[in-house]
Amino acid sequence: MPKMIGRRENTHVRHLAQAERHVKAGAQIVARQRDLIAKLERRGCDLTEHRAWLALFENMQRSFVEHRAIILRELKM
């Protein structure tokens, strides 16, 4: 017999799917920014602003990963 998922668990599953999308998209953004910095660095460009954006994207990515971990812990309760 399949396990019944309660309303709370169903909400967590939906939130987990959304968090997974955020983590995936965030990883892509961070990778693109790193690639951009590498290209601009080879051209000798000023990278100050680009590195600031990268730091912001990396902080957001850490938040996305932490949020996903919280949801996973809630699902295991």
User: Cα separation of 34 and 12, whole Å?
Assistant: 32
pLDDT for 3 equals: 53
How would residue 30 be classed by pLDDT, with cut points 50, 70 and 90? very high
Region 15-23: mean pLDDT is 97
Confidence category of residue 5, pLDDT binned at 50, 70, 90? low
Cβ burial of 19 (10 Å; 0-12, 13-18, 19+) is buried
- Cα 62 to Cα 7, 56, 58, 69, distances in angstroms: 28, 10, 6, 11
pLDDT at 8: 74
Arithmetic mean of pLDDT over the chain:
92
For the segment 26-54, the average pLDDT, to the nearest whole number, is: 98
Tokens of 52: 């600031």
Residue 1: pLDDT band (50, 70, 90) is very low
